[in-house]
Amino acid sequence: MLKGKLGVALALLLVGCMVCGCAPKHTHVYEKSAEQLPTCTKAGFTEYLCSCGESYRETLEPLGHSLDGEGMCSVCGYGGSEGLAYEWEDGGWTVAGPAAYGEERLAVAAKHESQPVVKIAPSAFAHNASIREIALAEGLEEIGNDAFAYTGAEKVRLPDSLKRVGSNAFLSCTALAEVTLGEGTERLDAYAFAYCTALGGVELPASVRYVGNFAFYQCWSLEEMIVPNGVTFVGDLAFAGCRDLTSVFLPASLETLGSYVFSECPSLREVRFGGTEEQWNALGAELPAGVALACGAEG
């Protein structure tokens, strides 16, 4: 009889705790329950499930094509976008543009009809806002003026074979957050990345010699710029309007430093220069008020 009464009492106590909210709370412990890996072009997911039935899903972004030296994707075998228009000139193919708009992913292969693709024509993909991803194979040597201006590109990796990024090449690509320049890049012409307001960082390779007028003008999110030794020309307003720019290094190799290079850069407090004070004075450049100069610095 005593055991029966005790059982009833414990049951009533448990019910009371559940009503008043003092019962122990359940801690979710999730385990992977399902997974679909992403492909080059399609998103994947991972699902997690708790023993109580609660679950959640994590989205895995598409991997993007990874083109090898022949312009083939090493992951899925994709061989470049279809429907591109080509023109033959100077011993190689120039990509003249798309046959139709609407594709989100653009891949330019290393060869067309067994011959090398060496150039993207001026304005080839300009104003093609649907483009989100750009993959360019090794062998490409030049991106023409305005080639990708006003596209929706978000991330760009340029091949080591590329020598020149033309004027306005990526002008006003406002979604462009990441750019990787190839190890052979020599010239960034005027307005090459101007108004790329989401661009947070760019590493200039040691091969660069020329940074044109307005090259990174109004790149609001750019925080640091190291101009490598070997660069001889930085043009007018090259980094003007970069409102988040805090750190800059300029090399002793500079022969020309344009006017108003760092105007409208409110976060910038110091410019480090690799040469001597005499070398700096010979450039005839002026820094905005409130920006200090440190000569003899290292990049």
DSSP string, 142-170: EE-TTTTTT----EEE--TT--EE-TTTT
Give the Cα-Cα-Cα angle 291, 296, 299 (nearest 5 degrees). Answer: 80
Give the Cβ contact number of residue 163 at 10 Å.
15
213, 216, 204: which is closest to 241 by C-alpha? Answer: 216
Cβ atoms of residues 270 and 294 within 8 Å = yes
Measured CA to CA, the distance from residue 81 to residue 107 in angstroms comes to 5
Question: What's residue 297's pLDDT?
Answer: 86
pLDDT of residue 15: 46
Whole-number Å distance between alpha carbons of 148 and 151: 6
Q: Are residues 128 and 151 in contact, defined by beta-carbon separation less than 8 angstroms?
A: yes
The pLDDT assigned to 147 comes to 97
Angle at CA 137, nearest 5°, toward 230 and 120?
80
Q: How far apart are CA 28 and CA 296, in angstroms?
A: 58
Per-residue pLDDT of the chain (299 residues; tens, 9 = 90+): 444 444 444 444 444 444 455 556 789 888 888 888 887 767 888 989 898 888 889 898 877 666 555 455 656 545 567 779 999 988 899 999 886 666 788 889 899 888 999 999 999 999 999 999 888 999 999 999 999 999 999 999 999 999 999 999 999 999 999 999 999 999 999 999 999 999 998 999 999 999 999 999 999 999 999 999 999 999 999 999 999 999 999 999 999 999 999 999 999 999 999 999 999 999 998 899 999 999 998 87
For 243-248, the CB contacts below 8 A with 24+ separation are 243/267, 244/220, 247/223, 247/272, 248/224, 248/272
Helices (H) and strands (E) in the chain, counts: 2, 21
Confirm if 163 and 186 have CB atoms less than 8 A apart.
yes
Q: Model's pTM, two decimal places?
A: 0.74
pLDDT of residue 1: 47
The distance of Cα 66 from the centroid of its chain, to the nearest Å, equals 15
Contact status, residue 226 vs residue 249, Cβ threshold 8 Å: yes
